[in-house]
């Protein structure tokens, strides 16, 4: 039989454990940013990455098809002509998790990456450039996904 006092003691212990884990969230940018990749929308993903409020910019470009016949393989490219880019991101707004990829740019590579993404449905896709000075710039493009695969 458990007395009320014991129960209280145990719950206090559990609360303490929870608090201590809460005090030490993921070591910032240690490796894979799980929170960002599990974020359900663009704003949350950017916040989890520590990026500021994004501003639309003509200097950032996103390339992709207007109509993708197969949502499982949508070729997307992100690039920018600006200097001082820290990270380039690809996000798909209406995917279950918005963030697709993060590219960490160094002096030895161009801020120009291309890959292929999955898309669940027609949606806006975003190219985001996180600058070394903390600015966050983006470009977006609508990609229509034709499910059923007949094109059109």
Partner 1 sequence: MADPMRIRAQAAGDKATVRVLMSHEMESGQRKDAAGKVVPAWHIQEVEAKLNGKSVMTAEWGAAVSKNPFLQFNVKGAKAGDKIAVTWKDNKGDTRTDEATVS
Residues contributing to the site for partner 1 (CB under 8 A): 31-33, 37, 72-75, 77, 92, 95-97, 99-110, 112-119
Report the nearest approach of partner 1 to the CB of residue 150 (Å). Answer: 20
Report the nearest approach of partner 1 to the CB of residue 44 (Å). Answer: 13
Select 41 or 97, whichever has its Cβ closest to partner 1: 97
Report the nearest approach of partner 1 to the CB of residue 89 (Å). Answer: 10
**Residue 60 and residue 138: Cα distance in Å, rounded?**
6
Report the nearest approach of partner 1 to the CB of residue 144 (Å). Answer: 17
Select 18 or 109, whichever has its Cβ closest to partner 1: 109
DSSP helix/strand/coil, 144: strand
Select 35 or 144, whichever has its Cβ closest to partner 1: 35
Select 2 or 108, whichever has its Cβ closest to partner 1: 108
Residues of 81-115 as b/e, b for ≥16 C-beta within 10 angstroms? eeeebbbbbbbbeebeebbbebbebeeeeebebee
Residue from 123, 77, 56, 73 nearest 96 by CA: 123
Q: For residues 114 and 103, is the Cβ–Cβ distance under 8 A?
A: no
């Amino acid at each position: 039989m458990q007395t009320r006092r014991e129960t209280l003691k145990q719950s206090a212990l559990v609360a303490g454990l929870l608090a201590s884990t809460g005090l030490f969230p993921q070591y910032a940018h240690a490796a894979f940013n799980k929170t960002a990749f599990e974020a359900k929308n663009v704003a949350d993903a950017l916040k989890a990455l520590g990026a500021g409020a994004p501003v639309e910019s003509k200097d950032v470009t996103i390339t992709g098809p207007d109509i993708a016949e197969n949502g499982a393989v949508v070729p997307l490219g992100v690039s920018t002509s600006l200097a001082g880019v820290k990270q380039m991101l690809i996000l798909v707004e209406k995917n279950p998790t918005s963030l697709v990829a993060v590219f960490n740019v160094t002096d030895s590579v161009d801020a120009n990456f291309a890959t292929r993404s999955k898309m669940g449905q027609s949606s806006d896709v975003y190219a985001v450039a996180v600058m070394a000075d903390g600015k966050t710039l983006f470009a977006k493009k609508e990609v229509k996904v034709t499910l059923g695969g007949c094109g059109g």
